[in-house]
Structure 1
Amino acid sequence: MASVVLGSSMPLQKPCRKVFSWRRSKNSRKLRATLSDGAALLKAAKYTVDTYIKSGMRVGLGSGHASCLAIEYLGRQLKEGTLKDIVGIPMSLFSGSEAANAGIPLDQYQESSQIDFAFNDADIMEEGTLVAIIGRRKWQGSESIIQEKSIVEGAGKLAFIVIERQYTGHVDGSVPVLVHTYNWMQTAEEIDDLFLGDAEVWRRSASGLAGPLGGDFPLTTRDGHNVLDLIFTSPILNLAEVAESLNKIDGVVDHGIVSGIPCTAIIASENGLQIVDNLPKKTSWGF
């Protein structure tokens, strides 16, 4: 495991006289946090493109705010001639649309596609192991987590871009699980029994109010599957074990846990960037 910190701490500002109400101060803190996250993610996006993408590469283009910033910056590098002959492989309709607007030449993903490097957002990443969760975002029915994971896992090199609070030793929240539609309820019951007391299982809704059964308009992906959200009510102690358990359940097609692959985490904060990887270390032999 390698870890590098880039950048330096920001100077502390003098305390200001408190003149706002509690509610307004809270909203101001949220706004400052959002602006700070945006600036940090832009720095991470530029670092990702400048460090890992070379002319002539086929690049997997991720989904999410950080990936959008990286796609825009990559497009500018192509227009300026800093990079040439890049072909983008979008992970979603969103990233494909953003890449087309940025002027990046695109190709459709196929199982035989060569992908030299891929970048993506992670919803949360387990500190130390770099096991990540993707797919918590709101989906359109035409999207596919299968394609997103295939590109992520099939890339020659992979980087996840996250903000500091998403890189944590206390993973919580939900894991999206893709299941066959025809027996989704049976599969949901098996998942619920497996994680009884630790999580709830809800079928994701395409629109309207959500509910355990998916409401009036349950989401069906372009692959013809339903999405179950496995919502943990206590911290997730080991993401890799959760993934392994889900893989053994009949009816589970895929899920949002990415584990067991070499990758780099680019962790953005107002203090700079931290680069952590789980890449295999080269062994040198002495005689």
Structure 2
Amino acid sequence: MALISTSPSSLSSSSSSSSATIPNRSFITFKNNNNKVRMNKTMIRGSSSSDGSGVLSNGSSVLFRAAKHTVDTYITSGMVVGLGSGQASAMAIEYMGRQLRAGALKDVIGIPTSVASANEAAVAGIPLDQYQDTSQIDFAFDDADIIEEGTLVAVIGRQQPKGDESIIQEKSVLNAADKLVFMVSENQYKGVLDGSVPVLVQPVNWMETAEEIDDLFIGDAEVFSIPYNRL
């Protein structure tokens, strides 16, 4: 299991970072760069004995441990938190709700990245607010399809069905956050990006952009349009 934390700018850029070790056998490598103008980058990789199914020998889920670590480490009372979409994010949302009910967290507001995460947060008892262009988001967590080692560039959106515009909401929330954490399994942490890359195109002149993509990736690009509507 790898847990990746970056600023929103790392979705498309990279930066050098300093390194230190933290005394936790499940989360052993810590990197941080405090240059918030370019990128504040943190990486924590999980290391544990596993049968390959993602479950530790003691029966606890590595994925849940990453989600729990994310909430315990990065979320404090009074924060506005972007709530990601996916398996790890669902675990983090559920655990975050438990912490709110227990009183360990107070006055936390969630901004969902999708209808699914909004429903999960409602069940968990997390107070919600809608995303707006002026939203001030302290922290966000999310699943990612793939993370590039070194740059920490992330790809999201491969799992969304055609016609699902929630990726637009998802990216907007992530970009608005002061700090962002991605939670991914070890096989999603790659030396270089591979596979498909979803491309968001604004409605204006989208055909021209689509033709450029089609020409660039002849035979490999699948171009289709969906209506642009905020959740």
Q: TM-score, length-normalised on structure 1?
A: 0.59
The residue that corresponds to 1:134 in the other structure is 156
Conservation of the 8 A alpha-carbon contact between 2:165 and 2:226: no
Moved segments of 4+, more than 4 Å: 8-12, 180-186
- 1:124-164 CA-to-partner distances (Å, cap 9, x unmatched) read 01101011001111237453322211211111111111111
Stretch deviating more after TM superposition (106-115 or 134-143): 134-143
Conservation of the 8 A alpha-carbon contact between 2:25 and 2:48: no
The residue that corresponds to 1:105 in the other structure is 127
Conservation of the 8 A alpha-carbon contact between 1:141 and 1:222: no
The residue that corresponds to 1:77 in the other structure is 99
Indicate yes or no: 2:196 matched with 1:174. yes
Indicate yes or no: 2:28 matched with 1:7. no
Conservation of the 8 A alpha-carbon contact between 2:214 and 2:222: no
Pair 1:4–1:195, CA change in 2 (3 A): farther
The residue that corresponds to 2:168 in the other structure is 146
Indicate yes or no: 2:229 matched with 1:223. yes
Conservation of the 8 A alpha-carbon contact between 1:93 and 1:143: no
What SS is found at the alignment partner of 2:226? coil
What SS is found at the alignment partner of 2:221? strand
Equivalent positions of 1:226-265 (< 5 A) are none
Conservation of the 8 A alpha-carbon contact between 2:83 and 2:141: yes
Amino acid at match of 1:135: G
Aligned residues: 190
Q: Which has the larger radius of gyration?
A: 1
Conservation of the 8 A alpha-carbon contact between 2:160 and 2:167: no
Amino acid at match of 2:121: A
How far residue 178 of structure 1 moved from its aligned partner, in angstroms, is 2.5
Select which of 94, 108, 112 maps to 1:86.
Answer: 108
How far residue 80 of structure 1 moved from its aligned partner, in angstroms, is 0.8
Conservation of the 8 A alpha-carbon contact between 1:140 and 1:221: no
Conservation of the 8 A alpha-carbon contact between 2:214 and 2:223: no
Conservation of the 8 A alpha-carbon contact between 1:89 and 1:107: yes
Unaligned runs of 5+ in 2: 1-16, 27-46
The residue that corresponds to 2:220 in the other structure is 200
Pair 1:96–1:140, CA change in 2 (3 A): farther
What SS is found at the alignment partner of 1:157? strand
Indicate yes or no: 2:71 matched with 1:49. yes
Distance 1:187 1:166 in 2: 29
Structure richer in strand, relative to its length: 1
How far residue 33 of structure 1 moved from its aligned partner, in angstroms, is 1.8
Pair 1:72–1:128, CA change in 2 (3 A): same
Pair 1:111–1:181, CA change in 2 (3 A): closer
How far residue 57 of structure 1 moved from its aligned partner, in angstroms, is 0.4
Q: Aligned-residue CA RMSD in angstroms?
A: 2.8
The residue that corresponds to 2:144 in the other structure is 122
What SS is found at the alignment partner of 2:222? strand
Amino acid at match of 1:77: Q
Q: Indicate the percent of aligned positions where both proteins have the same amino acid.
A: 59
Distance 1:78 1:62 in 2: 18
Distance 1:200 1:192 in 2: 8
